[in-house]
Amino acid sequence: MAINYPNGKKFVPPKEKPVKAKKKDFSFSNRGKTLEDELNETNDYYLQLGLAVIHKKPVPVQIVKVEYPSRSAAVIREAYFRAPSTTDYNGVWNGRYVDFEAKETENKTSFPLKNIHDHQIHHMSQVVKHQGLAFLIIRFSSLERYFIMRFEALEIFWNRMITGGRKSISLEEIEDTAVEIMPGAFPRIDYLPVLQNL
């Protein structure tokens, strides 16, 4: 049976284009998770075992315009960042305040310092001044390598950049000044044992 449009023209179904299948990576090392996903799962694990209370900080957002398309749903149409966020995570471990930033790079040879901001450096400096633990967790996603760098080491590289030096930290420098975390099954990034040495 032929179906015609109201204007009398015959309906011709569009030709289907072949869909290219995306290559899936089934390796254990790359499960499509971001560093943030891995850290959130790790922090949940620590919380359940009573090892630490560390959470992702909410981003400070000012909601300006909201629409209600139905009684049970609200849609935010306009919002702004109220203030620059400090670092990604904070909490308490072993009686110490813990505060850290988590960053990923696809670069294989260095970590670009443009990924960090002045206000984050200032914040971590204040944390260390008050005897808290401040550090950076770096993931080299293409290499599947993870590092914890103390703020004191990060600050040296930051000051080098500010005074006109290199705008990144080479992988060799990271290997020399940071501690590598070997990814595991669960938790994926077990960083608390490394903090013992910081």
Summarised one tens digit per residue, pLDDT across range 150-190 is 999 999 999 999 999 999 999 999 999 999 999 888 888 99
Q: For residue 42, say whether it is annotated as part of any ligand binding site.
A: no
Q: For residue 104, say whether it is annotated as part of any ligand binding site.
A: no
The predicted model gives 58-84 an average pLDDT of 73
CATH number assigned to the domain comprising residue 123:
3.40.1350.10
Global pTM? 0.72
Specify the number of domains making up the chain: 1
pLDDT per position as a tens digit, 72-125: 788 877 776 665 667 889 999 999 999 999 999 999 999 999 989 999 999 999
Q: How far apart are the first and last CA of the chain?
A: 76
Residue 178's domain comprises: 35-58+84-197
Q: For residue 41, say whether it is annotated as part of any ligand binding site.
A: no
107, part of any domain: yes
73, part of any domain: no
25, part of any domain: no
Hey, what amino acid is at 34?
T
29, part of any domain: no
Geometric angle at alpha carbon 152, from 108 and 136, rounded to 5°: 45
Three-state DSSP class for 37? Answer: helix
Q: For residue 120, say whether it is annotated as part of any ligand binding site.
A: yes
77, part of any domain: no
